[in-house]
Structure 1
Amino acid sequence: MKDDPCGTAATASDAVLADTDPDATANNTHLIDTDPDATTNDTLLADAERDVTETHALLADTDPAATTNCTLRAHSNKDDTQATDDLEHAEEKIDKRVAEITSFEELIETVGIKGRWNIMVIIVCSISGMMPAFGSLSYQFLGATPDYWCHVPDLVGANWTQEQIIALAVPLRSKHGKREGCLVHNYNYTAAALLGFNHTMSNVSAIKHSGDELIPCHSRVYNSSQYKSTIVTEWDLTCERRALYSTTQAMTHAGTLISSYCYGHIFQRLGRRKGVLISSMLTIIASFLNIAAPNIEIYIFLRFLFQSVDFGFYMGCFIIAMEVSSASQRTFVGPLFLLPWSLGYMILPGIAYLVRPWRWLLVAFSVPLLILLMYYWVLPESPRWLILHGHHKKALDMFVRAAAINRTTLPSHQAIISAMENIRHKETVCCRDNARPEFRGGLYDRVARALRNLFMLLLTPEVRVRAIIVFYIWAATTTIYYGVSLNSYNLSTNMYVYTFLGGLLEVPACLLLWCALAVLGRKRTLMLLHLVAGASIARVASVILIMPVGVKLFFSLSGKMAITAAFQLVWIYTAELFSTEYRTRAVGEANTIGRIGSIASPYINDILGEVVVWAPSAVFSLAALLASALVLILPETSNKKMTQTNNDFTLQETIEMAAA
């Protein structure tokens, strides 16, 4: 009976017992008459059957719960069917909505890749930000310049001490007791060597030549107690050869300039991931080659080569991180890239302090680059690039992996594929509408086409003014950033402490940027940061000759912190100001233009600073103030979707840009 809660078996038993066979009844009566024992047994059997009948009847009357359960089960089955129908209907609505998506941001929100997968990709990409600091900021440690003075062969041959040579031959440069390093008194040093130190010092007029009081020397002696081996001491990069020292840093930025332009096209054609892998491998090779440079000319070339390939992996990782992020996430992703750079910035002076010989220092900077090999296994391709280049199956596989890591459920694969096709179709139509006729023919036409591609942003009316402003802001920002970062010599501060503090302040600059972006947005934040930088550095120029080192350090690092935040923000702002068609090109070419300013920064510090010590700070201040004013013309992009096409620029923005 437990197997039949609805009571159907009990009812059947009752019906069988009620329809008893008459012949069987007669036989039982006969047995009662002829066999008392059998009669007793039949009586007991009849009583038992009656008990069973009564029990069945009782169960039939007293099992409403079982009946109710059966009824509830029937209703439950009906509800489950209805729920299933509702779920299928909801999924169909979701699939339909997904299939109609035409922007990548909407697709990201729908497929739900925001989660652990997204965070993992951003962290993996941000690691690339630590190593470029070693290449971009190391020249003042590789070329650390100790005290030096002119080499006087006649006096050295006469066994004069360095103190005696300096006392006679080397004039004072300033009232603070600093000696001239490139000039000597116009004396007859052969006669001085014959007379001896004491007699010569008592009658200096006897060895004076007529004519100029000071004359240049062509070789120098360096104070080996300060630095034993740097590129400056090994190749005599002072005085008339000082420009070669500045060129070692200028070529670093020239390499980045070439890298920015070339990798912009590589990332567009081959993909972000392949570009990063190519850059990583070439960077490791070029870095170790640099260690073996036999002379300054080869060293400069290898520095250029190293930086030409070095910047690619950072740029590619930055683009991937931005393109897997939603509009709200990009506010935090950009500043996140500042943290590994800051870490590398702070580690740099510590390594340089412990490892003084410049070749071994290059080894110490090269070994950490080996970590870039991990990108072969852990770095994904940008899903945005995959979609726009028709690799929908690969993009779908990536979304599936992301959903598995994030523990989310994707809409139907067919709906996602349809959305990808919509996004790509929109981009293709835009490119076809904006395409210019291709030049065909001879060399002249091919050169014209190459120049057109080079200046495509300036030739596109919708973005021309915007591009010009962005290009200047990049040039000013990079000039100020690297100029202030490497200005310790003109400020007469300890370069190890100055560089460490500069790196340390990049962390609060990142936090400052996060807070400012959340409150002020992109445009007002960038304007304010350039304004603060310009005012702080202007103060340095005004007090550099009269104030103590601590005051100069405070104002210089205040400007440094502001321009650091501005430098990080300009990456984000540029990526959001241009459509998908021009975004990679805009970031690459803006960075290219910016490097022209950074190429100038070592000459401003090393050459102009030698003439007028406050002049570099004045130049940096004026550049920052002008950039602050130009930001006012640009539109706000905070919490807005990244534009897919040039048609996404509003008419009002176009009118405002044209009027500006």
Structure 2
Amino acid sequence: MAADDKTPSGDIELKRSQKDTEAQEVTKESQTFEDLLELAGTNGIWNYGIITLIYLGGIPSALIVLSYQFVGATPEYWCHIPALHDANWTDQQIRDFAIPMKADGKLEGCLQRDYNYSLAASLGYEAAKENLDLITNVVNGTVSCPKRDFNHTQYKSTLVTEFDLVCERRALYSTTSSIVQVGMLFASLTVGHITDLFGKRRTVLVCYLLIIIFGVLSAVSPNVEIFILCKFFMSLFNLARYISVFVLILEFSSKNQRSYTGSISGISWALGQMVLPGIAYQVREWNYLSLALTAPNLMAIIFIWVLPESPRWLILQGRYEDTMKMLKNIARWNKRTLPSDKKLLKMIKSINIKDDDNNVEDTGKNLLKRAVSRLKDLFQTRSSSISTLIMFFSWFTTAFVYYGVSLSGSNIGSNEYWYVFFGGLVEIPSVIILIPLAHYLGRRPCLIGTFVICAVTSLGALGVQGDPVWRMVLSLAGKFASIASFLLVYLISAELNTTKARTLAVGISSVIARVGSMLTPYVVDLIGDENPTAPATMFGVVSCVAAFLAFFLPETRKSVLPESHADVANLKSKKKSESQLTLQDTVASSPSSE
């Protein structure tokens, strides 16, 4: 009978007793929110469920940012000649008769031969060709045209065909893509302060609503200027949402999980990019396509009930009871035992007292003071100044090359649908492979390697200009490397700066990255139209410079996130082993952690 005492229920009670004992022991040592999170559980059903849901919410982000390749696709075009259209000439007859050819064999879409087209229309196609001397105004002369016709074989309509965004209006076309980056720039500057004031949950839900509203408005835009305005606000709220949910993921992850939970967030972006061409292939009219790409944001309805608020924000707002309820809910789903409500509340309040010592009231005047103070913090020492400037250039290069490669599908002569799909597909192994490489080899070697690959693939594409297959292969290899460098610059920027300057450093770096991505459409569209080899050359040269400069960055692998300038200086001469990392040494690399 003694053996029968060890029943399953007895084992469960013993385990619960052990958990209670562990909880009491940890309570004595709990000093940070990470300790409380460990008590509630970081590897349970709740954590994985919320993180998965948040990841799925990131899929629509790629649809908004990269939709330009299909909503704004540019089909073949040529001058619209009313007299010949009225005479019922076919498009092929008009192109053969009136449109000159470029040296590369493509139509000169912005020019037409200097003929008397009224006379040509009265003569008819065959007679006009036989009597060119009668209808020619200037021998071998060409003139510009105010309006174009488009080939609608692949696309029934696009933003370009709707608003004639070619020739003298081509810069306006590039602006429809660049404005997305402008909106993201404004989001980078403001989202931290917005979430500080209103919390991340409220910010995310409002952003979803506004994205849907402006997405619908963009689809019914009466002119391209209204469309550009709508895209600005869509991209602004899109990045604000993305940053907010990214920070939430980090806040609900332990220190050991952050290296991969932050990186894996890139997979949701890649999935969105892979879904995009499938939707675009089925919907060939730009306004209906805009609506279709906005529709996935309706998943926000689920978030109304399940998306949690940032626990750190709740603590800083003095909402201790709400924080305790959240921790108890997490512990219930994860089957963990917490201390008594009284002790738990005391622990939460003690964390708040510690945080408040370093917190500045978020009034407009104090926000400006804090921003200026933290900006100086980035350039406090010679070593930190060098690292900061190198990282600024690394961010610029990463965004410049990544978006350059992403938007170059039509320029390399490949199928745009497959190009975008494979572009998303290569990002997934890039993220997965990067995690162990950055962990075992270090951040700096990986960053140098990604820039070298970007340089080799960009410059290598110059040697295979006539082979679209090889150009696509090299372009996708560059995409593989550039997405990895994007994740690395985020990580390194967080690990190189002190607690006070961390968020500002990432914020300013993101702004600089937006400058690079804003320039990309003009490089790809305008400069690329004039000189097809120029974009790849620019991407390659900039990547070479970034790879060289990265040699002068300190290695941050196995280092505790620095709290002071002395810690930053020690990064170049001292490395801590992983066994030295503790929860007390680690701080969240997010706005709410400061």
TM-score bracket relative to the smaller structure:
0.7 to 0.9
- Sort the Cα spacing of 1:203 and 1:619 in 2 relative to 1 into closer, same or farther, 3 A: same
* TM-score, length basis structure 2: 0.85
Q: Which residue of 1 aligns with 2:217?
A: 289
- Sort the Cα spacing of 1:288 and 1:193 in 2 relative to 1 into closer, same or farther, 3 A: closer
Structure 1 counterpart of 2:309, from 378, 381, 397: 381
Query: In structure 1, how many angstroms separate the alpha carbons of the residues matched to 2:161 and 2:573?
Result: 58
Report if aligned partners of 1:108, 1:114 keep a CA contact under 8 Å in 2.
no
- Sort the Cα spacing of 1:203 and 1:421 in 2 relative to 1 into closer, same or farther, 3 A: same
- Sort the Cα spacing of 1:336 and 1:655 in 2 relative to 1 into closer, same or farther, 3 A: closer
Confirm whether residue 482 of structure 1 aligns to residue 414 of structure 2.
Answer: no
Query: In structure 1, how many angstroms separate the alpha carbons of the residues matched to 2:199 and 2:561?
Result: 19
Structure 1 counterpart of 2:437, from 516, 537, 557: 516
Q: Which residue of 2 aligns with 1:165?
A: 94
Which amino acid is the alignment partner of residue 587 of structure 1? V
Report if aligned partners of 2:555, 2:572 keep a CA contact under 8 Å in 1.
no
Report the CA distance between 1:592 and its aligned residue: 2.5
Q: Which residue of 2 aligns with 1:491?
A: 412
Confirm whether residue 121 of structure 1 aligns to residue 39 of structure 2.
Answer: no
Q: Which residue of 1 aligns with 2:249?
A: 321
Q: Which residue of 1 aligns with 2:454?
A: 533
Query: In structure 2, how many angstroms separate the alpha carbons of the residues matched to 1:184 and 1:641?
Result: 66
- Sort the Cα spacing of 1:654 and 1:507 in 2 relative to 1 into closer, same or farther, 3 A: closer
Structure 1 counterpart of 2:28, from 96, 101, 109: 96
Query: In structure 2, how many angstroms separate the alpha carbons of the residues matched to 1:630 and 1:116?
Result: 43
Which amino acid is the alignment partner of residue 181 of structure 1? G
Report if aligned partners of 2:216, 2:291 keep a CA contact under 8 Å in 1.
yes
Report the CA distance between 1:364 and its aligned residue: 1.1
> Secondary structure, in 3 states, of the residue corresponding to 2:532?
coil
Structure 1 counterpart of 2:270, from 329, 332, 342: 342
Query: 1:581-620 to 2 correspondence within 5 Å?
Result: 581-620=500-539
**Greater CA deviation, 279-288 or 379-388?**
379-388
Which amino acid is the alignment partner of residue 567 of structure 1? F
Q: Which residue of 2 aligns with 1:38?
A: none
Query: In structure 1, how many angstroms separate the alpha carbons of the residues matched to 2:376 and 2:509?
Result: 15
Confirm whether residue 550 of structure 1 aligns to residue 469 of structure 2.
Answer: yes
Query: In structure 1, how many angstroms separate the alpha carbons of the residues matched to 2:371 and 2:168?
Result: 37
> Secondary structure, in 3 states, of the residue corresponding to 2:78?
strand
Q: Which residue of 1 aligns with 2:109?
A: 181
Which amino acid is the alignment partner of residue 526 of structure 1? L
Query: In structure 1, how many angstroms separate the alpha carbons of the residues matched to 2:507 and 2:411?
Result: 32
Query: 1:123-138 to 2 correspondence within 5 Å?
Result: 123-138=52-67
Confirm whether residue 458 of structure 1 aligns to residue 375 of structure 2.
Answer: yes
Q: Give 1 or 2 for the bigger CA radius of gyration.
A: 1
Report if aligned partners of 1:281, 1:373 keep a CA contact under 8 Å in 2.
no
Query: In structure 2, how many angstroms separate the alpha carbons of the residues matched to 1:300 and 1:361?
Result: 16
Report the CA distance between 1:626 and its aligned residue: 2.6
Q: Which residue of 2 aligns with 1:246?
A: 174
- Sort the Cα spacing of 1:123 and 1:403 in 2 relative to 1 into closer, same or farther, 3 A: same
Query: In structure 1, how many angstroms separate the alpha carbons of the residues matched to 2:487 and 2:328?
Result: 32
Query: 1:382-421 to 2 correspondence within 5 Å?
Result: 382-411=310-339, 416-417=344-345, 419-421=347-349
- Sort the Cα spacing of 1:650 and 1:490 in 2 relative to 1 into closer, same or farther, 3 A: closer
Q: Which residue of 2 aligns with 1:649?
A: 567
Query: In structure 2, how many angstroms separate the alpha carbons of the residues matched to 1:159 and 1:288?
Result: 37
Q: Deviations over 1:195-214 (max 9, x none)?
A: 44334323434433348722
Structure 2 counterpart of 1:237, from 141, 161, 165: 165
Query: In structure 1, how many angstroms separate the alpha carbons of the residues matched to 2:481 and 2:20?
Result: 54
> Secondary structure, in 3 states, of the residue corresponding to 2:149?
strand
> Secondary structure, in 3 states, of the residue corresponding to 1:315?
helix
Report if aligned partners of 2:98, 2:113 keep a CA contact under 8 Å in 1.
yes
Question: Please, which runs of 5 or more residues in structure 1 have no aligned partner?
Answer: 1-68, 70-84, 440-445
Query: 1:633-644 to 2 correspondence within 5 Å?
Result: 633-643=552-562
Aligned pair count?
Answer: 555
Report the CA distance between 1:105 and its aligned residue: 3.8
- Sort the Cα spacing of 1:453 and 1:117 in 2 relative to 1 into closer, same or farther, 3 A: same
Query: In structure 2, how many angstroms separate the alpha carbons of the residues matched to 1:586 and 1:185?
Result: 56
Which amino acid is the alignment partner of residue 514 of structure 1? I
**Greater CA deviation, 531-540 or 418-427?**
418-427
Q: Which residue of 1 aligns with 2:550?
A: 631
Report the CA distance between 1:251 and its aligned residue: 1.0
Which amino acid is the alignment partner of residue 479 of structure 2? K
**Greater CA deviation, 525-534 or 483-492?**
525-534
Report the CA distance between 1:91 and its aligned residue: 7.1
- Sort the Cα spacing of 1:308 and 1:217 in 2 relative to 1 into closer, same or farther, 3 A: same
* TM-score, length basis structure 1: 0.77
Query: In structure 1, how many angstroms separate the alpha carbons of the residues matched to 2:21 and 2:156?
Result: 78
Q: Which residue of 2 aligns with 1:502?
A: 423
Q: Deviations over 1:605-658 (max 9, x none)?
A: 110100110111111222223333333344444455545x446834434999xx
Confirm whether residue 622 of structure 1 aligns to residue 551 of structure 2.
Answer: no
Report if aligned partners of 1:452, 1:459 keep a CA contact under 8 Å in 2.
no
Report if aligned partners of 2:559, 2:571 keep a CA contact under 8 Å in 1.
no
Which amino acid is the alignment partner of residue 118 of structure 1? N
**Greater CA deviation, 620-629 or 300-309?**
620-629
Report if aligned partners of 1:522, 1:636 keep a CA contact under 8 Å in 2.
yes
Q: Which residue of 2 aligns with 1:151?
A: 80
Report the CA distance between 1:281 and its aligned residue: 1.8
Report the CA distance between 1:532 and its aligned residue: 1.3
Q: Which residue of 2 aligns with 1:280?
A: 208
> Secondary structure, in 3 states, of the residue corresponding to 2:526?
helix
Q: Which residue of 2 aligns with 1:10?
A: none
Report the CA distance between 1:561 and its aligned residue: 0.8
- Sort the Cα spacing of 1:95 and 1:233 in 2 relative to 1 into closer, same or farther, 3 A: closer
Q: Which residue of 2 aligns with 1:190?
A: 118
- Sort the Cα spacing of 1:574 and 1:651 in 2 relative to 1 into closer, same or farther, 3 A: closer
> Secondary structure, in 3 states, of the residue corresponding to 2:153?
coil
**Greater CA deviation, 630-639 or 498-507?**
630-639
Which amino acid is the alignment partner of residue 496 of structure 1? Y
- Sort the Cα spacing of 1:450 and 1:318 in 2 relative to 1 into closer, same or farther, 3 A: closer
> Secondary structure, in 3 states, of the residue corresponding to 1:149?
strand
Report if aligned partners of 2:374, 2:500 keep a CA contact under 8 Å in 1.
no
**Greater CA deviation, 316-325 or 115-124?**
115-124
Report the CA distance between 1:471 and its aligned residue: 3.0
Report if aligned partners of 2:111, 2:145 keep a CA contact under 8 Å in 1.
yes
Report the CA distance between 1:320 and its aligned residue: 0.8
Q: Which residue of 2 aligns with 1:567?
A: 486
Query: In structure 2, how many angstroms separate the alpha carbons of the residues matched to 1:324 and 1:91?
Result: 19
Which amino acid is the alignment partner of residue 68 of structure 2? Y
Which amino acid is the alignment partner of residue 168 of structure 1? F
Q: Deviations over 1:40-66 (max 9, x none)?
A: xxxxxxxxxxxxxxxxxxxxxxxxxxx
Which amino acid is the alignment partner of residue 254 of structure 2? S
Report if aligned partners of 1:113, 1:399 keep a CA contact under 8 Å in 2.
no
Question: Please, which runs of 5 or more residues in structure 2 have no aligned partner?
Answer: 3-16, 575-594
> Secondary structure, in 3 states, of the residue corresponding to 1:262?
helix
Query: In structure 2, how many angstroms separate the alpha carbons of the residues matched to 1:193 and 1:576?
Result: 71
Confirm whether residue 472 of structure 1 aligns to residue 393 of structure 2.
Answer: yes
Query: In structure 2, how many angstroms separate the alpha carbons of the residues matched to 1:366 and 1:431?
Result: 38
Query: In structure 1, how many angstroms separate the alpha carbons of the residues matched to 2:41 and 2:540?
Result: 45
Which amino acid is the alignment partner of residue 138 of structure 1? S
**Greater CA deviation, 107-116 or 166-175?**
107-116
Query: In structure 1, how many angstroms separate the alpha carbons of the residues matched to 2:259 and 2:22?
Result: 33
Which amino acid is the alignment partner of residue 446 of structure 2? T
